[in-house]
C-alpha cells in the first residue's frame, strides 16, 4: 500500500436519514497508536449523529476511540482552526489493516532538529494535530504540526505523497 491508501472516508449516520459521507481523514501510526486526522467540523457531527468508517468484513462501524478537536468560536465558516483527530482503540484499529494504510512515524520527516529524547517525551494523550496538504504538480506534501499543550511547543513533521 502507498500513502494515498491512508485516506479514509467518514460517514454520518443520523436517525431517520440515509447514510452519507461527511468527510475524510488520514490515518497515521504515531508512538504505537493509530490516529485518524480529520477536520473539526466532521467531529462536530457527533453532537447529532454517529460517525462510521469502513472496517473489516465489508462492514461500516462506528469510530471507536477518543477524540479531540479545536472547538469553534461561532460558525465554522472561515474557521482556520478546523482540526481534530480520533485516537483509535487498538482492537478497532486492527480491523482497518488491509483496507487502509496508517502512515508510519518513521515516514514522517521531522522539520526541526529535535533530539530523540525530545520526541520520546511526546505523549499521545494530550496532542493536537494540525494538518496541511500542499499540492505541487503530481505530488502532495503533507505537513503535520503536533501541538503539545503542556509545554506549548510545536513539532513540525512532513511527508511526501507521489
Q: List the chain domain ranges.
A: 3-161
Q: Is residue 112 a contact partner of residue 126, using CB atoms and an 8 Å limit?
A: no
Torsion angle (degrees, nearest 10) of CA 67, 22, 46, 49:
-150
CA atoms within 13 A on the CB side of 4: 5
CA separation for the pair 89, 65 (Å, rounded): 5
Span 96-109, pLDDT tens digits: 999 999 988 777 76
pLDDT tens digit string along 117-150?
444 444 555 555 555 555 556 665 555 666 554 4
Per CATH, the architecture of 3-161 is what?
Answer: Beta Barrel (2.40)
The C-alpha cell at 63 is: 469510530
What is the pTM (predicted TM-score) of this model? 0.70
Sign of CA dihedral 135, 80, 109, 26: negative
The pLDDT, as a whole number, for residue 91 is: 96
Of these ranges, 53-57, 114-118, 143-147, the one predicted with the greatest mean pLDDT is: 53-57
Kindly indicate the confidence band of residue 1, based on its pLDDT and cuts at 50, 70 and 90: low
What is the pLDDT averaged over residues 77-100? 88
The most distant pair of C-alpha atoms in the chain lies apart, rounded to whole Å, by: 52
Query: Which one-letter DSSP state was computed for residue 41?
Result: H
Amino acid at each position: 500500500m502507498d500513502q494515498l491508501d491512508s485516506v479514509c472516508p467518514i460517514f454520518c449516520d443520523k436517525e431517520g436519514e440515509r447514510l452519507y459521507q461527511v468527510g475524510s481523514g488520514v490515518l497515521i501510526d504515531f508512538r504505537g497508536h493509530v490516529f485518524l486526522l480529520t477536520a473539526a467540523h466532521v467531529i462536530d457531527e457527533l453532537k447529532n449523529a454517529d460517525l462510521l468508517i469502513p472496517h473489516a468484513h465489508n462492514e461500516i462501524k462506528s469510530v471507536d476511540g477518543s477524540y479531540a478537536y479545536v472547538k469553534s468560536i461561532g460558525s465554522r465558516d472561515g474557521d482556520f482552526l478546523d482540526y481534530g483527530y480520533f485516537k483509535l482503540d487498538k482492537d478497532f484499529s486492527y480491523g482497518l489493516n488491509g483496507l487502509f494504510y496508517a502512515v508510519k512515524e518513521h515516514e514522517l520527516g521531522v522539520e526541526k532538529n529535535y533530539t530523540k529524547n525530545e520526541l520520546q517525551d511526546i505523549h499521545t494523550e494530550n496532542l493536537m494535530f494540525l494538518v496541511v496538504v500542499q499540492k505541487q504538480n503530481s505530488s502532495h506534501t503533507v505537513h503535520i504540526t503536533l501541538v503539545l499543550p503542556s509545554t506549548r511547543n510545536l513539532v513540525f513533521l512532513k511527508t511526501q505523497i507521489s
